[in-house]
Amino acid sequence: MPGVPFVGLTGGLGAGKSTALEALGRLGAVTLSTDDVVHELYEHEEVRDAIVARWGAAVAPRGVIDRSKVAARAFAAPGEWAWLEGELWPRVRARVASWRAEVSEHEPPPVAAVVETPLLFESGMQEIYDATIAVIAPEAVRAERAAARGHAALAERDARQLSQAEKARRATFTVDNVGTVEELERQLSAVLGRLSAS
């Protein structure tokens, strides 16, 4: 995709990745959420059948995957999480690749193509991007946001991810989501400016 930066966006639970992705869309980027891709994959018969075969029909009441039940099973043991990643991530990578090809046809070209990928570095997907952005926020703020969204087990989920500090260290750019949405948007606008200038 010549001239259009291909960017991975990441951050811990409650840091504000989705808010940042929306802001980037307002700033002229085209965006994709791998969480949305996973939602789509859970509707595929092949994926659903594999998950039911692994964990039983209780994770898919009336034939529909219950994400909270799948998460409970996946977080129960490292081996279970690894199995689920093995089922999903090759398909997620393929979807991201096809989306990137679609974006390359856009006229006029967008300022960037940004993919929200919570487990960006953990999954090894950083290698496919031109640049990466880590969204960080104070732990107390993250815990409050996570609780408001029904994610009580922040520490347990964090244990499966790199620390915020490590994500920030590995990322090309870091934005601190501690203030208003407007302040976050200003930081992201500056990042897009640096990307277009490089």
The string of DSSP codes covering 89-115 is: HHHHHHHHHHHHHHHTT-SSPPS-EEE
Q: What is the pLDDT of residue 136?
A: 93
The string of DSSP codes covering 133-188 is: EEEE--HHHHHHHHHHTT---HHHHHTTS--HHHHHHHSSEEEE-SS-HHHHHHHH
Q: What are the sequence ranges of the domains in the chain?
A: 6-36+86-197
Q: pLDDT tens for the chain, 198 residues: list them.
A: 457 899 999 998 888 899 999 999 999 999 999 999 999 999 999 999 999 999 999 999 999 999 989 988 988 887 998 899 999 999 999 999 999 999 988 889 899 999 999 889 988 889 999 999 999 988 887 777 777 766 555 455 556 678 888 999 999 999 999 889 999 999 999 999 999 877
Residue 132 burial (C-beta neighbours within 10 Å; 0-12, 13-18, 19+): buried
Q: What is the pLDDT of residue 151?
A: 55
Q: What is the pLDDT of residue 1?
A: 42
> Rounded to two decimals, what is the model's pTM?
0.87
Q: What is the pLDDT of residue 150?
A: 61
What digits encode the pLDDT tens for the residues 141-193?
A: 777 777 776 655 545 555 667 888 899 999 999 999 988 999 999 999 999 99
- Read off the DSSP letter of residue 125: G
CA neighbours within 13 Å on the CB side: how many for 36? 11
- Read off the DSSP letter of residue 14: T
Query: Under CATH, which number does the domain 6-36+86-197 receive?
Result: 3.40.50.300
In angstroms, rounded to a whole number, what is the distance separating the alpha carbons of residues 165 and 17?
A: 16
